[in-house]
Amino acid sequence: MERVLVAGATGYLGRYVVKALKQQGYHVKVLVRSQDKLNQEGAYSSPSIYDFVDDIVIGDVTRSQTIKGVCLDVDFVFSSVGITKQKDKLTFMDVDFYGNLNLLREAERSKVQRFMYINVHGADECPSTLIKAKQRFVNELKHSSIHHIIINPTGYYSDITEFLTMARKGRVFLFGNGSNKMNPIHGADLANVCVSAFAKENSILEVGGADVYTYREMAELAFKVVSQKEKITTIPEWLVKTSLPFLRIINKKQYNLFLFLFYMMTHDVVAKSHGKVDLKSYFESVNEKGGNNV
Ligand SMILES: NC(=O)c1ccc[n+]([C@@H]2O[C@H](COP(=O)([O-])OP(=O)(O)OC[C@H]3O[C@@H](n4cnc5c(N)ncnc54)[C@H](OP(=O)(O)O)[C@@H]3O)[C@@H](O)[C@H]2O)c1
């Protein structure tokens, strides 16, 4: 039985990966900062994973002494560690780059066979430090002695839930004119792709969901599901670009997250379709539960 270490196990994607790995018969070890989270359902209805976990290690990838020896008894490492909505003082370089690098060095020391890392599809030219930190790590991983498997997904349904949240409140805001396209993916679908990809060596996979939508179509779908009259406000690109330097002065982390979001909404982000769960069914299930369950 192959043994996998999952870092990022308490996050949206990590939870689905833990579940899928266990269902495929792997021995699953998780590296988490808080054991309590394993027994609770995650954000956006992602699963509670306590029952799918064989071994638990408490550690923080940004503090290398806390993860010493974590890879000693594993064959593969999966990492979806990164900053998304965390509000602590750590920067993208601290977590997305140096945190993952600490884990990679541990994996190298323990001669792990494969290291799978979750990057982002279609954001290579995005100037956000979020992307720069991820690209720096991808570069280290590609040059390491371990076989790399890099997954570049489009947007997750978790993030697209924001459209439903806005529609429930009566108005959806879009950057640009809403005509750019994306094929977002459900965490469970992406997890299945990740688990199958452990059979590969030195590969980069571009992964999108079942259907391609414009951002306006996603907003329209959200209004349909909540049975509200469509009210969509578009914020012109020039206005966002003029406001961005002010945000940078106030909060650098939020500025870089916003820059990334703005970039994604004003570019086409479409990758090979892998998903099964359609966005309408997902919106309906979230709406039935009364909101976004963040
Ligand atoms: N969301 C999207 O649309 C999207 C699209 C493409 C790529 N991605 C990338 O996919 C990855 C996973 O996304 P997600 O939505 O699953 O994110 P998420 O729900 O925020 O999960 C992030 C995971 O990283 C862990 N983490 C954060 N800082 C850490 C630290 N200092 N030490 C140890 N663990 C730490 C979190 O642990 P805690 O629970 O302890 O905070 C959590 O388990 C991210 O790198 C993201 O950039 C996301």
* pLDDT for the residue numbered 275: 85
Q: Is the CB of 13 under 6 A from ligand 1?
A: yes
Q: What are phi and psi of 86, to 5 degrees?
A: -60, 135
What is the average pLDDT across 22-36? 97
Q: Is the CB of 153 under 6 A from ligand 1?
A: yes
Q: How confident is the model at residue 139 (pLDDT cuts 50, 70, 90)?
A: very high
What is the average pLDDT across 254-281? 94
Q: Is the CB of 84 under 6 A from ligand 1?
A: yes
Under 8 Å between Cβ of 95 and 83:
yes
Q: What are phi and psi of 113, to 5 degrees?
A: -80, -45
Q: How confident is the model at residue 289 (pLDDT cuts 50, 70, 90)?
A: confident
What is the average pLDDT across 160-183? 96
Domain ranges in the chain are 3-156+185-207
Percent of the chain predicted with pLDDT > 90:
92
Pocket test for ligand 1, best of 80, 101, 132, 270 (most atoms within 8 A of CB): 80
The CATH architecture that domain 3-156+185-207 belongs to is: 3-Layer(aba) Sandwich (3.40)
Q: Is the CB of 49 under 6 A from ligand 1?
A: no
Q: How confident is the model at residue 294 (pLDDT cuts 50, 70, 90)?
A: low
Q: How confident is the model at residue 171 (pLDDT cuts 50, 70, 90)?
A: very high
207 Cβ partners below 8 Å, 6+ apart?
121, 151, 152, 153, 154, 185, 190, 193, 271, 272, 274
* pLDDT for the residue numbered 292: 54
CB-count exposure of residue 70 (10 Å: 0-12, 13-18, 19+): buried
Each residue's pLDDT tens digit, 173-218: 999 999 999 999 999 999 999 999 999 999 999 999 999 999 999 9
DSSP single-letter state for residue 144: S
Q: What are phi and psi of 2, to 5 degrees?
A: -80, 145
What is the average pLDDT across 266-279? 95
Question: Dmax over Cα atoms in the chain, in whole Å?
Answer: 58
Pocket test for ligand 1, best of 31, 33, 41, 56 (most atoms within 8 A of CB): 33
